[in-house]
Structure 1
Amino acid sequence: MRVENGNNFQLYIFNFQTEYDYRRLVIYGKTQLILDQNYESYGISDFVSDDDFLRHHLFPTEASTIHWNAWLSRHPHKKEEWEQASKLLEAVRLGLSDYARTYLSEEAENQLLRRILETNALLTREAGPSPVRQLRSRWISYAGVAAAVALIIAGWAVFDKSRPHADRYRQLTESHAGLLDEKINTGSEPITVLLPDSSSVNLSPGSRISFSKSYGTAERVVYLSGGAEFDVTRNPAAPFLVYANEIVTRVLGTRFTVTAFESDRDITVRVATGKVSVYRNGALTGTEGKKGVQQELVLIPNQQAVFVKAVELFSKSLVPEPEVVIPSKKTQPSFVYNETPAGDVFADLQDAYGIEIVYDAEALSSCQLTASLSEESFEEKLDIICKSISAAHQVVDARIIITAKGCK
């Protein structure tokens, strides 16, 4: 193969493993890439629908990596959309529907998920054992060297990429050296840390927390690595901020739990009482001021936010075991029913647990319940109610959606 344009170029020779590699032979330099698709007009949804984009993210090869790096270097104005498309694709793979829905309809998300599964199956078959080609024997020594270099580069890339995540706590606190008090739990049981404003922290084993020596005078800021449950003294004039790796949690006065061990793939914030807002630490994630990036999630009791570090995305859902959080001025329901309308039963659950329950009142108008549910958990209550009235339920964005045909 020759290129006669008078320019210098590099010829990359690959140990081809799939049909995709053969189609994507790359000559890179001042010469354009062979078979370079016109992605100039592509948006986020176009990228995730593209076969080559999909293949690269599911089964990246040396050829595809060089191709996309070269294309992005020539089209830097498309880099942000390309990266958002990468995150959208990963969100669909991980089932983060609330994020995916900002770009795709439910039908489009389901179609993309089917394509991901089909492409995965196809590429897995293509990457399986294949006959040795005569062409390959001529290149065997070059391929071996190239593979070794690629492994070294890939290993360094993984190591280099992981370092910032491992040092998040240090990054957050090093600029305040000498100005912070630090508490470390080296034991096997949680310890209680009392802050100057009487807020308390139940610090998990293997965790550490730092706060300013002048805490409470102008601001209430703590830095966390690991897990902790916070019971915050209310002070509207001084919001309480928890910096935990890539995210920030902001509250006025409430009880909540943050789990942010640096070795974990996720960061979780769970709310027991009150209301909190959770958002990225833009200075660490590089998303400050970027368009199309989730900016903030607001959580109420029995809700949780999970931040997936790999794709830097939030998802909101119910905590695994919701607890009764009924306001002190109200009386807790007995959860004992005798031919009680289903709508009243769901109203009791909604008031007691603070969880929104969506249902068709007209469809359930003739449904009644006779049962004692005082000892059951929230999930058990919900299962019994739905089975009794031939209904089904699902959790969507921390809400309960009830579907039913009605009762005769």
Structure 2
Amino acid sequence: MNYRTYNAEDFLFDESFRQWTSGSSAQAADFWEQWLIQNPDRADVVRQAQELVRALNEHYQDDATDARFTSELNRLMQLAAERRDADIEPPIQALPQRSWWRWAAAASIILMAGLGVWLYSRTSIPKASPDSYAQLTKTAVLPLQEKVNTTNKPINVLLCDGSLITLRPKSRLSYPQHFKKTSRTVYLNGEAFFDVARNPAKPFLIYANQTVTKVLGTSFLVRAYEEEKAVTVTVRTGRVSVYTKQDFEKAQQSGLRRTEGVILTPNQQMTYNLIDRRLQKALVEKPTALMPEILNREQVFEDAPVAKVFSTIERTYGVKLIYNEEDLSACLVNLTFFNENLLERLDIVCQTIGASYEVLDGQIVISSRGCK
């Protein structure tokens, strides 16, 4: 058989070619891989045919039998012929052989174009996800109103509970005019800074691109553009819990009091990767002081236990420092801070006592052999 004269649709009808593409036959794989090495100029046609085979296999899934496959290809060829009859006029005084080749070429073009569109519709255009902003707002229990920022500057949105949301450009927020008695739920597509009014009796929930952020009252940033591959939540003050939407709703339905998620405190950040669906906590790149005015005046430590210095740093930035107090109990320092940021302060302290530090899971771990 002269495979070299095969067009893409010829490959589709070849059973051994389909077995190779689906990985169901080692013998077919050996043959076609060797054939492709000997015919590298046919690689593009082979690749196109393989994409169509995979698309059809995915479409039929468990019902992707050879008979079903061949039947569907014949149906598409019939459609191509009908399309040819309707749209392509036969040439006047054409020889039968030339008519056949014109038909074959036209049918091939129509078939591949039709399959190409069909493939594109199944692989390039995602189906409406139940976690998408459009679907969530469409199925919300309460009627929603939407605020869309079409400007190039942030705009403020004041909610009925007193919470203030700063909506960034190209972002949209949907929220009810009045919240339910048990919770406050909003939906975000884009980026927004939330300054949530505290109300322990009514948790504030933000649904954004497969995640749910739950707070009682705090300030934080959420970035969740649907065209991006990650969601980030950055906390400025207070405490925030972040969950995957699937875990959060599963816990709600089962009545669990505790839900597996990530707890964030000031200067911590959660990233949810939509590809591997994993929540990861880290320290923000540039931690800021909870009370910036503290940085504008000197902080002097004279013969002070290093544990006292670390405690001051924790209160200033809201971060957790992990260290062995017993090992550092003999360490006394003489230091003056003024305008240094968090990491610069840690560098100064660690250089003074001969220690080192690293950031792990949003916390700072300090290692030292102690002071003699």
Q: TM-score, normalised by structure 1?
A: 0.60
Alpha-carbon displacement from aligned partner over 1:344-399 (angstroms, at most 9, x marks no partner): 21121123322221112233233332222131111111112112222111111121
- 1:401 corresponds to which of 352, 362, 365: 365
Q: SS state of the match for residue 343, structure 2? A: helix
Gap runs ≥5 in structure 1: 1-8, 17-24, 35-61, 64-132
Alpha-carbon displacement from aligned partner over 1:226-275 (angstroms, at most 9, x marks no partner): 11111111122211111111101111111111111122221111112222
Q: Is the 8 A contact 2:194 2:221 kept in 1?
A: yes
> Cα 1:189–1:134, aligned 2, differ >3 Å: closer, same or farther?
closer
1:391 correspondence with 2:355: yes
Q: What amino acid is the match of 2:209?
A: N
Output aligned runs, 1:213-292, within 5 Å: 213-216=177-180, 219-282=183-246
- 1:11 corresponds to which of 12, 16, 25: 16
Output aligned runs, 1:86-125, within 5 Å: none
Output aligned runs, 1:324-403, within 5 Å: 324-325=289-290, 335-403=299-367
1:307 paired residue number: 272
> Cα 1:145–1:382, aligned 2, differ >3 Å: closer, same or farther?
same
Q: Is the 8 A contact 1:317 1:396 kept in 2?
A: yes
Output aligned runs, 1:47-66, within 5 Å: none
2:261 paired residue number: 296
Alpha-carbon displacement from aligned partner over 1:162-194 (angstroms, at most 9, x marks no partner): 555798111211224992110011111111100
Alpha-carbon displacement from aligned partner over 1:175-220 (angstroms, at most 9, x marks no partner): 2499211001111111110001111101111111001233355531
2:24 paired residue number: 27
Instruction: Give aligned-pair identity as a percent.
Output: 35
Alpha-carbon displacement from aligned partner over 1:270-324 (angstroms, at most 9, x marks no partner): 112222211111199999999xxx9311222222211011111100112222233
Q: Is the 8 A contact 1:11 1:27 kept in 2?
A: no
> Cα 1:167–1:238, aligned 2, differ >3 Å: closer, same or farther?
closer
Q: What amino acid is the match of 1:305?
A: M
> Cα 1:164–1:319, aligned 2, differ >3 Å: closer, same or farther?
farther
Q: Is the 8 A contact 1:190 1:203 kept in 2?
A: yes
Give 1 or 2 for the bigger CA radius of gyration: 2
Instruction: Return the alpha-carbon distance in structure 2 between the equivalents of residues 262 and 136 of structure 1.
Output: 40
1:121 paired residue number: none
Q: Is the 8 A contact 2:267 2:284 kept in 1?
A: yes
2:286 paired residue number: 321
Q: Is the 8 A contact 1:10 1:27 kept in 2?
A: no
1:22 paired residue number: none
2:133 paired residue number: 169
Alpha-carbon displacement from aligned partner over 1:31-81 (angstroms, at most 9, x marks no partner): xx78xxxxxxxxxxxxxxxxxxxxxxxxxxx97xxxxxxxxxxxxxxxxxx
1:209 paired residue number: 173
Instruction: Return the alpha-carbon distance in structure 2 between the equivalents of residues 312 and 139 of structure 1.
Output: 41
Q: SS state of the match for residue 344, structure 1? A: helix
Which protein, 1 or 2, shows the higher relative CO under an 8 Å CA cutoff with sep ≥ 6? 1
How far has the Cα of 1:135 moved from its partner? 4.6
Alpha-carbon displacement from aligned partner over 1:95-154 (angstroms, at most 9, x marks no partner): xxxxxxxxxxxxxxxxxxxxxxxxxxxxxxxxxxxxxx9754666687553311234557
Q: Which runs of 4+ in 1 moved over 6 A?
A: 13-16, 283-290
Q: SS state of the match for residue 124, structure 2? A: helix
Q: Is the 8 A contact 2:355 2:367 kept in 1?
A: yes
Gap runs ≥5 in structure 2: 1-13, 56-118
1:195 correspondence with 2:200: no
Q: SS state of the match for residue 349, structure 1? A: helix
2:45 paired residue number: 145
1:53 paired residue number: none
> Cα 1:368–1:14, aligned 2, differ >3 Å: closer, same or farther?
farther
> Cα 1:384–1:295, aligned 2, differ >3 Å: closer, same or farther?
same
> Cα 1:363–1:317, aligned 2, differ >3 Å: closer, same or farther?
same
Instruction: Return the alpha-carbon distance in structure 2 between the equivalents of residues 221 and 178 of structure 1.
Output: 10
> Cα 1:357–1:218, aligned 2, differ >3 Å: closer, same or farther?
closer
Instruction: Return the alpha-carbon distance in structure 1 between the equivalents of residues 360 and 217 of structure 2.
Output: 27
Q: SS state of the match for residue 181, structure 1? A: strand
1:85 paired residue number: none
Q: Is the 8 A contact 1:246 1:285 kept in 2?
A: no
Q: SS state of the match for residue 27, structure 1? A: coil
> Cα 1:165–1:377, aligned 2, differ >3 Å: closer, same or farther?
farther
Instruction: Return the alpha-carbon distance in structure 2 between the equivalents of residues 287 and 263 of structure 1.
Output: 28
Instruction: Return the alpha-carbon distance in structure 2 between the equivalents of residues 349 and 395 of structure 1.
Output: 15
Q: Is the 8 A contact 1:259 1:268 kept in 2?
A: yes
What's the RMSD between the two structures over aligned residues?
4.0
Q: Is the 8 A contact 1:301 1:354 kept in 2?
A: yes
Which structure: greater helix fraction?
2
Q: SS state of the match for residue 139, structure 2? A: helix
Q: What amino acid is the match of 1:27?
A: S
2:78 paired residue number: none
